[in-house]
Amino acid sequence: MKLGHQTWVFPSKPVILSSAAIGGPLEAQGPLADDFDTLHGDMMLGQSSWEKAEKTLLEECCDKAIEKAGLTKEQIDYFLCGDLMNQIVSSSFTARTLQTPFLGLFGACSTSMEGLALASLIVDSQSADYVLAATSSHNSSAEKQYRYPTEYGAQKPPTAQWTATASGAAVVGREGTGLRVTSATIGRVVDMGLTDPFNMGAAMAPAAFHTIESHFRDLQISPTAYDLVVTGDLGRVGHSILSELFQQHQIEIPPEQYKDCGMMIYGENPNVWSGGSGCGCCASVTYGHLLNRMKRGEWKRILVVATGALLSPLTFQQDESIPCIAHAVSIEAESEEGVQ
Amino acid sequence: MKLGHQTWVFPSKPVILSSAAIGGPLEAQGPLADDFDTLHGDMMLGQSSWEKAEKTLLEECCDKAIEKAGLTKEQIDYFLCGDLMNQIVSSSFTARTLQTPFLGLFGACSTSMEGLALASLIVDSQSADYVLAATSSHNSSAEKQYRYPTEYGAQKPPTAQWTATASGAAVVGREGTGLRVTSATIGRVVDMGLTDPFNMGAAMAPAAFHTIESHFRDLQISPTAYDLVVTGDLGRVGHSILSELFQQHQIEIPPEQYKDCGMMIYGENPNVWSGGSGCGCCASVTYGHLLNRMKRGEWKRILVVATGALLSPLTFQQDESIPCIAHAVSIEAESEEGVQ
């Protein structure tokens, strides 16, 4: 149901029947390790290339989410997936394995919530019984594609972020018990003219702000409607900028009620500079850690705002600035009894 | 509304309020030239790079579709778009220009119907009043990214296809008069083990077959329900293979009722080998030529089946085969009076 300019409300409140998170070696050292279903010690996952490792990560995560929902892959009506690889090959090859009708998405690191928003719309409109939404990223495949060969050991500035080796997946269904998706706000592209691909957090913060402000406006609610607002992958730099934007615009979100997935996934590890990033960061933190805490009753309503930087190495070379986007999805625990 | 395993039926029959097609110099020489809204004589479109030319093509096409619908861009609720460039930058940068809430898609050359299917679902579920679905491709930007530098003058086999320099866009709305979208079938990935990126038509034909067969099965209809079944970009080679598959499986579609956009766009021009391809091929032929002929009353119901090869240069280098997909959308003229 359309509400306001860019927000969907889902009257049937589609259920997140299950979710899964899979990570790599660095994620295993982070403070959220216990919230991953599987943690791999080997960046290659036994495969012959980083790209095949990423595909394996994503396949495992989808399998785990389907298994946790008590379903078989044949019961999944649609698979919505995207990733950072050129031509989203991790997703397409996983779709080949799953043999589920497939809709390929691209929203860079905003893909996780783009997928969850669309999955919820499809389920809410009774166009499917079960939809699987997933995404992934792999540090080495992303470094290889977007940046310098890792063997160069190129230094990065403190504003840079570390692409997570992680995947997150969720099965959304029409009926059952679990956390529920109540609304979604689809972002506009915001581009403040920043051009530094090693400072994505600063570039993406205004897009996150715009989507969050639109969400509150469209639904005519205030931040108190949520126990937690969490951005995907702004990192320390972007988190700080967004916090300032909240203050400047009188959006009152107490510091303890605003978190960022990119800051949470690796804790205080200084080797990740400003924090984590990559499609798999927001996806694995949300589908692992955040939903686990909701299930434990710590929060009743959260707003997950996945942010994406929609540049490519080529647009950077051609002196373009960085277009950014953010998609927000609200997740609710209906009642304590209703939550598994 | 879910019907069968992978088909949506849209009870409200969303209206294609307008559509636009823009092409380049080679498209201007083809037999469908009169059906393009604008034809550019310059592959650069006055821009400084092929990529910027592609973005300009897409922007112009979106503007034209919005203008033809009698709307302003502020009235468009959502923009669904994808293209062949890495990180779909043509689409993302166009979304920056439009400032419309944006959902990025990737389905290679199947993107046109992925977008139209989702746009129709969003409109049918009353989640938007107006959705713009678009896609583009540019021969030179695609050759540069996917193949050899054009300056090499590398020879291609007769099974190769020519990436169209074209864009197609449609505005889908809840109310008004025009052609209507009645159903959509979302494809599974089909991979028959073919590995030759210069023979995409052969790789994609089985995916088209699978989607068409699923469409008829899910809706419990026969090919006689349509005046025309048209595939996107199989070219002569793929068209011939799909025609054989129809025969083998007793799907009776008379030869004159099955066409392919890749064969139509350039006619008998021998320089395009097996025919046209690229996201913009199926999109511009459908949103220009095919809808024009429907509006003239030549066909009442058509099924557009856009096919996509979901490989990347990297998966080819890593000896993977080519995963393919096809999405089908049925378009109807409600009645002769109802058609503008």
Give tens-digit pLDDT for B178-234.
Answer: 999 999 999 999 999 999 999 999 999 999 999 999 999 999 999 999 999 999 999
- The pair of structure tokens assigned to A291 is 């939903």
Nearest C-alpha in A relative to B94:
A189
Mean pLDDT on A120-137: 98
Answer yes or no: are the C-beta atoms of B135 and B112 closer than 8 Å: yes
A250: closest CA of chain B, how far (Å): 24
Residue among B99, B125, B186 whose CB faces A78 most closely: B186
As for the ipTM of the complex, it is: 0.97
* Confidence grade of residue A54 (pLDDT, cut at 50, 70, 90): very high
Of A88, A122, A129, the CB nearest to B106: A88
Ranges of chain B whose pLDDT falls below 70:
335-340
* pLDDT score at A148: 83
Average pLDDT value for residue range A302-315: 96
Strand segments (E) across chain B: 2-3, 7-9, 15-23, 38-39, 78-83, 102-104, 130-137, 162-163, 166-173, 179-185, 228-232, 258-260, 276-277, 301-309, 324-332
The helix (H) or strand (E) run that includes residue B214 is helix B200-219
Residue A186 touches chain B, beta carbons under 8 Å:
yes
Write the pLDDT tens digit of every residue in A225-282. 999 999 999 999 999 999 999 999 999 999 999 999 999 999 999 999 999 999 999 9
Task: Please report which confidence band the pLDDT of residue A333 belongs to, taking 50, 70 and 90 as the band edges.
Answer: very high
Q: Which of residues 223-282 of B touch A (CB under 8 A)?
A: none
Same CATH topology for B11-173 and B181-332?
yes
Q: pLDDT at residue A337 above 70?
A: no
pLDDT number for residue A151: 85
Q: With an 8 Å Cβ cutoff, is B203 touching chain A?
A: no
Distance from CA of A87 to the nearest CA of B (A): 6
A3 at interface of B, judged by CB pairs closer than 8 A: no
CB contact under 8 A, A188 and B127: no
CATH architecture, domain A2-173 = 3-Layer(aba) Sandwich (3.40)
Residue ranges covered by each domain of chain B:
11-173, 181-332
Structure tokens at A319: 């002196």
Given this model, what pLDDT does residue B62 score?
98
pLDDT recorded at residue A40: 98
Q: Nearest C-alpha of chain A: how many angstroms from B49?
A: 8
How distant is the alpha carbon of residue A98 from its chain centre? Answer: 21
Residue B61: exposure state from Cβ atoms within 10 A (0-12, 13-18, ≥19):
buried
- Say what the pLDDT of residue A152 is: 86
Q: What is the mean pLDDT of residues A297-315?
A: 97
CB of A318 less than 8 A from some CB of B: yes
CATH architecture group of domain B11-173: 3-Layer(aba) Sandwich (3.40)
A125 touches chain B (CB under 8 A): yes
| Top-level class of domain A181-332 | alpha beta
Residue A335's pLDDT band (cuts 50, 70, 90) = low
For A318, the closest of B49, B99, B104 (CB atoms) is: B49
Is residue A325 less than 8 Å (CB to CB) from chain B?
yes
Enumerate the residues of chain A whose CB falls inside 8 A of the CB of residue B316. Answer: none
Which chain B residue's Cα is nearest to A76? B5
The one-letter amino acid code at B202 reads: A
DSSP at A178: S
Determine how many CB atoms are found less than 10 A away from the CB of residue A21.
Answer: 30
| Cα B206 from Cα B75, distance rounded (Å) | 40
Q: With beta carbons under 8 A apart, name residues in chain A contacting B313.
A: 86
Q: Is the dihedral of CA A43, A46, A50, A54 positive or negative?
A: negative
Tell the burial category of A74 from Cβ atoms under 10 Å away from its Cβ (0-12, 13-18, 19+): exposed
- % of chain A at pLDDT higher than 90: 94
Rounded Cα–Cα distance for residues A150 and B335 (Å): 62
Q: Considering CB atoms only, which of B102, B108, B188 is closest to A188? A: B102
**Nearest Cβ partner of B121 from A125, A310, A312?**
A125
